[in-house]
Amino acid sequence: MTKGTPSQGKRQKRVHTVCRRCGKVSFNYAKKTCAACGFGRSAKLNKWGWHSHLARQTW
């Protein structure tokens, strides 16, 4: 097993698909949750408090 950039070529499985709520490719097929906004896990949008200008965005 090689780590680093050459391993990126092995990533052919689609783990995340486009999220219905935030539109990012962060919706996990297996978990049925969105890694970016928390869709499927939380009723509220998962905002990033550490990036205030991004948290202000409305999706």
**35 binds Zn ion, rule: CB under 5 A:** no
> How far apart are the C-alpha atoms of 34 and 54, rounded to whole Å?
17
Instruction: Kindly tell me which residue out of 16, 21, 51, 56 binds Zn ion, with binding defined by CB under 5 A.
Output: 21
Q: Determine if residue 22 is labeled as part of a ligand binding site.
A: yes
Q: Determine if residue 37 is labeled as part of a ligand binding site.
A: yes
> How far apart are the C-alpha atoms of 41 and 31, rounded to whole Å?
9
CB 40 within 8 A of CB 34: yes
**34 binds Zn ion, rule: CB under 5 A:** yes
Site of interaction with Zn ion (CB under 5 A) = 19, 21-22, 34, 36-37, 39
